[in-house]
Chain A
Amino acid sequence: MNKKTRILIVDDETAIRESLKDWLLEDGYTIDLASCGEDAVAMAEKKNWDIILLDLKMPGMDGLETMEKLKEARPETEILMMTAFATIDTAVKAIKQGAFDYLVKPFDPDEVDMQIKKIVNHKQLVMENILLRQQLEEKSRYDEIIGRSDAMQEIFDLISRVAPTDSTVLITGESGTGKELVAQAIHGNSRRCYMPFIAVNCGALPDSLLESELFGYEKGAFTGAEYTKKGRFELADKGTLFLDEIGDISLKTQVDLLRVLQQREFRRLGGQDLINVDVRILAATNRNLQNAIKEKRFRDDLYYRLNVISIHIPPLRDRKEDIELLSEAFIRRYCIEMNKEERKITPNAKKLLQDYSWPGNVRELENIIERALVIGRGDKITEEDLPFSKKTAPLPPLPKSLKLMEKVHIERVLSENDWNISRSAQDLGVDRQTLYNKIEKYHIKKED
């Protein structure tokens, strides 16, 4: 459930595959197995790994050829070649062709551990840099949460009541509903508002990196820890820490988190001193934590600690009355940003926005408005500016039954051809009479 380091083992010998898998599982890696190069290449079409341990000598597609194909499909994956003594020359060749390194079978535990950690550390460093950049780029813009629906009114009310307290709040809702905005609003309306608001996306980080992000580490705590680093808990001292996608964290991190919540103190990784912090915790998830608890993937004691107060943000499709207000607010904001004259929305475009199901919620609406303002030419946003205008309307979820499928398809072709029967029949590859029969059979009617 968390983003662990993923490793693929490719070897034709079962005992090698299995024993390597067992050993790596002790480190908490996620392991996949392939017994030949062909399988590995096929798997790489659908799956991605951080590291591939690849046997050099296999019947069928050999290690070098497999590596070439894997590198083509997954250039960012590092490959460690496994070889017996007799084939070291080829292993050296493999490095020249892009393998990270090679290991001689049977492995010296020391050596394989070091090689894997080298790759993992390297990948984490890249991640840390990305994180740092994200932090710098994070817009300091304070978004207002908007909505006139009863549900949103209730949320505003709740925010204003819980903000001044120091209570932990669990914010739930589908992705794109604006959980972080609610967290920011709680922080912004609290006595902590002049202190930092620190957000961590727990779902985006591999377990070990999340641990060091949250709690920091001392120089030398692990290979690659070349300096002492403060964690987000320390950075959020006197302020608010927002833990997004809390449903994705590992059992181990759950324990650490629980302890900080209970005792308000923790140690940096590799550190001796207890560090006290005064942090308000806000957490959010789009997962059903109750289910996760039942499946023993989430601790109930942590859940009760986090869920002191809960705020649920309903999906946009359940509060359609907010769509217009939100659209107008986004238009205002982006027109200012783009230095454009403010635009209105035509009634037809409004209806399209109103009727759409918004699986991506408010974020999707925001993106669509921004896009419409960029591509639109007139002084109004029209149907043409929306990605789901008639001609490009996203298809409704496909029906499972073949019959229904046929009906839906005929409806679509008819509407694309403005109910011109000849053209529709031609598109469908049937004659006019057949089309008439189908229209009758399925009771298809012209809309409007």
Chain B
Amino acid sequence: MKKEHLKENEIQEYVFDFRNCNYSIIQHIDNCNTCKKAVTDYTLLSEGIKTQPEPLLEYDLAEMVMAKLPAVEKKPKREYNSSGLVALILGIIGATIYLFKNNISTLVKLNDIATYLIISIGAIIAVLWIADIVKSHNKKINSIYLQH
């Protein structure tokens, strides 16, 4: 046990940072009424600070801020989605197939591996192309919303 009384910072460490408090400090306080009283003073101070009244606002902060926000909020209620764009692209492909159905049926009648290969490669390219268009379109739309 320390013979001298504790220092102010040691008392505060005991009150506010007990986990990091040295054992010799704890031991001293347990055996010294003067330092125990200093502990009580700091504890009372802490309680006093906690019970200080909170500042009262005389205005509605949220309402004032909301009125000043840039006018982005007139965004459509429904979230934007790219189904319209996909439908348009599928429509174009469908119309193309319909218009050239005679040529296509001739191709299919040939029924050889080369024809299937051409059709499958064409289909894969079409899918990737549609996906790319939709992605870049969404990106542009989102950046327009976020810019506001």
Whether chain B is bound by chain A comes out as no
